[in-house]
Homo-oligomer: A and B are copies of this chain.
Amino acid sequence: MPAHAATAVSCANIAFIKYWGNTDEALRLPANASLSMNLAGVETETTVTFVDNLAADEVFIGGAAQSGTPYDRVVGNLDLIRERAGLRAFARVESKNNFPAGAGIASSASAFAALSVAGAAAAGLKLTEAELSALARRGSGSAARSVPGGFVEWGPGQPGQPDSSFGVSIAPPGYWDLVDVIAVISQKHKIVGSTGGHALAGTSPLQAARVGSVPDRLERCRAALLARDFDHFAEVVEADSNIMHAVMMTSAPPLFYWEPITLAIIKAVRRWRAEGLPVCYSIDAGPNVHCLCPGEHAAEVERRLRENLDANRLLVARPGGPARLLG
């Protein structure tokens, strides 16, 4: 077999309604449905090359050869691709992010979306978007949401059915000019990454109540998004972020992803909105604060954040497209 190669690019995403905890850890079937926006320009680019004479898979991220858990997770997805394609060859995987990894921007989401799209193409598979999304999910849950474009809803699927849980675009990137001004607080790697964190979700006495309250918030969030109603959107997005962190802080052991500056920005954003600036926050499994606002207010949000951030920095992203093959 000759070498077969493909390259794909995928955006990170920010969840408005969060994913936290699985009903099936092995299949990564999520405890609840979630809703997100892809982040244009916050990207992973991945090339997968199946090569006849390799002795094992090789994985490079930002040029560095990987081993241990990061390597094993990539091999896990390659195995799923090989199984589906009837392939035996090992692969070389070369991946690079244009944003800092491990600080709460979902690098694993864009990484596994790009890996799945590139890997499937390199293996000669013709998969639907839903199949690619479900494949990406096996590597990192939220990667399911980085495969389709724009605003994406990801359902929990059916027990024991790995292909039943995938992301679906509910609106294209141009539907609403929503901007995510990301206050990047720290580029240190997290003490507990989100895979480890998801496994702790069930230890919180609050997780079941959170999961039970998601459908109501999801419905209100979808409605506010489709109506471009920022006020209602802001309220439900912040409530969902708060409730995920409430579960994190009450798991055993408790997970405090916020830093003091995270809380300072939460309070500042709430004060700015009370004073009339349409902006709200959402925080993933890390200290960064995603400050969401209509496009016409992004410059003012950026200006105010810069005044409060000292040495930290900002990333600005508009709604992004689907994972795509290059060339």
Interface residues of A (CB under 8 A from B): 205-206, 208-210, 212-213, 238-239, 242-243, 245-247, 249-250, 252, 254, 256, 258-264, 266-267, 270
Apart from A242-B250, A256-B267, what 16 extra A-B contacts exist at CB < 8 Å? A205-B210, A205-B212, A206-B209, A206-B210, A206-B246, A208-B209, A239-B252, A246-B246, A246-B247, A246-B249, A246-B250, A256-B263, A256-B266, A256-B270, A260-B263, A263-B263
Q: Which of B213, B249, B252 contacts A245 (CB 8 A)?
A: B249
For A209, A238, A252, A262, the residue with the greatest tally of chain B CB atoms inside 10 Å of its CB is A209
Q: How far is the CB of A192 from chain B (nearest CB, A)?
A: 13
20 chain-A/chain-B pairs, Cβ below 8 angstroms? A205-B213, A206-B206, A206-B210, A206-B246, A208-B209, A239-B254, A242-B249, A242-B250, A242-B254, A243-B250, A246-B247, A246-B249, A256-B263, A256-B267, A259-B263, A260-B261, A260-B263, A260-B264, A262-B263, A263-B263
> A242–B212 Cα gap in the complex (Å)?
21
B254 touches A238 (CB 8 A): yes
> A94–B250 Cα gap in the complex (Å)?
42
Q: Which B residues are CB-close (under 8 A) to A261? A: 260
> A249–B249 Cα gap in the complex (Å)?
11
> A172–B247 Cα gap in the complex (Å)?
36
Q: Which B residues are CB-close (under 8 A) to A213? A: 205
> A259–B210 Cα gap in the complex (Å)?
24
> A266–B209 Cα gap in the complex (Å)?
25
- Shortest 9 CB-CB distances between A and B: which pairs? A246-B246, A260-B260, A205-B213, A209-B209, A260-B264, A206-B206, A242-B249, A260-B263, A243-B250
